[in-house]
Amino acid sequence: MIAVPEHIFNAMENWGLITYSENGMLYQEGVTSEVSKNFAAILIAHEISHQIDARVYASFCVSVRFIWVLFVYICDFNACYEWFGNLVTPEWWDDLWLNEGFATYMMFLGVDAVTPEWKMVV
C-alpha cells in the first residue's frame, strides 16, 4: 500500500500494490476528523478486499499498525476469499456486481471489526 500525492483516484488496486490518494489514506489521531477516519477505513478495507490473498497484507499491515489491520485477519481465516480478488474475475461485465458486492460486504465487516462503535454491520 502506498499513498500518492495528487493521485487522480481515491484508490486503485493492482495485483500486489494498492495506491491511494494521500487524502484518502492518511489519518492522524486528534487532527483528522471522524468523517475522514471513517472514509479512510472504508476505502482501505474495500481496496484490500479486492486482493487475492489478504494473508500477504496481514504480515505487512501488522508492522505498519494501521487502524484497519483487523480487516486483514478476517480474510486470513477464509481461503475462499482469494477467489473474489482481481486474479479470478467474472466471465463478463454482467457479473462484475459479484466482485464489487463481495468487496463492499468485506469492507463493512472489516471496518466493523476495527471500530464496532460505528455499527457498520448489524
**How confident is the model over 25-52, as pLDDT tens digits?**
777 778 888 788 777 777 777 777 766 4
| Residue positions annotated with a catalytic role | 47
Q: What is the CATH number of the domain that holds 42?
A: 1.10.390.10
CB proximity list for 110: less than 8 A, separation 6 or greater: 41, 45, 48, 49, 68, 70, 71, 72, 74, 75
Contacts of residue 91, defined as CB under 8 A and 6 or more positions apart, other chains included, come to none
* Number of independent structural domains in the chain: 1
What is the residue range of 42's domain? 2-118
As given in the structure block, the three cell numbers for residue 91 are 466471465
Its pTM stands at 0.54
| pLDDT tens, residue order, the chain (122 aa) | 788 888 788 777 776 777 888 877 777 778 888 788 777 777 777 777 766 455 554 544 444 444 444 444 444 434 344 445 555 667 777 877 877 777 777 777 777 777 788 887 77
